Chains A and B, each alone.
Chain A
Amino acid sequence: MKLSERFADGKFVVTSEVAPPKGIDVAEMLEHVEALGARVDAINFTDQQSSVMRLGSLIAARLCIERDVTPVFQVTCRDRNRIALQSDLLSAAAIGVENVLCLTGDHVTLGDFPDAKAVFDLDSVSLLEAASALNRGVDLAGNELQGSTDFCLGAVVTPEAEHVDLQVIKMEKKIRAGATFFQTQAVYDPEAFAGFMDRVRPLGVPVMAGIILLKSPGMARFMNRNVAGVRVPDALISEMADAEDRVAASIGIAARLIRDVREVCDGVHIMPIGWEGHVPAVLDAAGL
């Protein structure tokens, strides 16, 4: 099922995220796929998240399809040039992938192979152009394909970035290049997010608010220090610090955020980062 069809139905779309394992034991990943698959519209498979070498998102997406759950195939520009990227997109279409999220990707210096060659032959915008070309039955160079893809293409945006104007400009470019939905970096301030939505609503493309489950006050402070475009307000950090039951507090915060952003956007993308098992409880508490 393409996410674009869900949006067209006027549904508040819910996606979550599973990281493929570092290794070949996919049992735990598949448990998460089954637990989440029953509750969400699709599951994103991250592409060597944080530049850490893992099992590929393409194969993970296929294993997901085999369990009747819709995947969102994440593709970054860090590890492949335009030949390999286009080829992997063709492969994805051939194994039944319908949704693709196009990202630039973190730099290799952040991961476990800082000595690797960072590719970045294309970037998120030109990758979207390449995928759009494949949808039209040609490759990036204009050569005709034997059978075209029919992807629903998505991209990302950071609502709390330092120069939000620059984010919006890039968002416009991504839309021109073929993005039909956006998933955002984690949102913790519903009011600020509503302001961002006021700015981008005229662009006419559905936006899904990113929700990262807070596991501890330390994690919140770590993200504030180290993760670009993530700002956890002090009030939420204290709420976590004062909680007797951190899991319950985290679920409560996420559910509240979802209810708040639901008023202004078109869906949520929940990033559990290890707490996949708690996502159903978050959805229950949010009334989804």
Chain B
Amino acid sequence: MLVTERKPVDEIVGFLDGEKRVFLLGCDGCAAASGTGGEPELAALEAELAAAGVEVVGRKVVDFLCQKALIRAAVRPLAERLRSVDSVVVSTCGIGIQAAATVLDVAVHPACNTLSLGGIRGEWQGEERCLECGQCFLDATAGICPLTACAKQLVNGPCGGAKDGSCEVEPEVRRCAWDVIYERLERQGRVDLLRREGVFQKDYAKMRPPTELRGTRRWAIDLREEKGGEE
């Protein structure tokens, strides 16, 4: 199971960069077990966003957000409401966020950092992959993970090695991640996102799961059970 932590609300509001109307998506799988993506957590996130002046138009917890078919089915009745928002905030693991970004094809912002596999890998059929970097960059990359989709894990733009849209490393099988990111942003009319100030630096310390969480196979669930009393 993928273990996630909620990003601070200020970081999420920073991603919105002035967007005022959002929809929240959560996940009843690993994210709910991690205490980040279930219904109570979405309600809490909605309150935090409201306090920061962001209108939450609606929220939906999908059974497994890593399953694109389930996302498609879940959002079908919500199509109209989704059209009326500036963006969608997704509170789950990197794979769920990438899957939502692909299915919805609108601006999607991550509300979580993915910390670890927690011993057992969730099952999914899609091509999305997450490296549990603990510092989710998906907001800056149109919901395409630069750490798994780019052969050099480049977070500040392409390397210049792409040829005919293919990555220099495995041109037969791998499209240049930044090519795909660019195309998606162009389609969404959001290329300016790439012009945002600031240079990303990967923080590898965040790839090590927090000390108190290490040492047990099912530590995420254990932790949640332990913490249960405090909530």
Contact = CB atoms under 8 A, between A and B. Distances in A.
Interface of A: 104-107, 109-110, 118, 120-126, 129, 140, 156-158, 161-163, 165-167, 169-170, 172-173, 176-177, 185, 226-229
A104 B164 CA distance: 20
Interface of B: 151-165, 168-170, 178-179, 182, 191, 194-195, 197, 199-202, 204
Given A163-B179, A166-B182, A228 B152 contact: no
A278 to B, nearest CB: 27
5 contacts: A110-B168, A123-B157, A123-B159, A125-B156, A157-B160
A169 B140 CA distance: 13
A118 B170 CA distance: 14
Given A120-B152, A163-B179, A170-B156, A228 B191 contact: no
A185 B158 CA distance: 15
Nearest to A185: B160
Given A120-B152, A177-B199, A167 B168 contact: no
A121 B204 contact: yes
A275 to B, nearest CB: 24
Nearest to A226: B163
B172 to A, nearest CB: 12
A55 to B, nearest CB: 24
A228 B161 contact: yes
Which residue of A122, A126, A163 has the most chain B CB atoms within 10 A of its CB atom? A163
Contacts of B154: 104, 120, 123
B80 to A, nearest CB: 33
B157 A106 contact: no
Contact of A170 (B158, B161, B201): B158
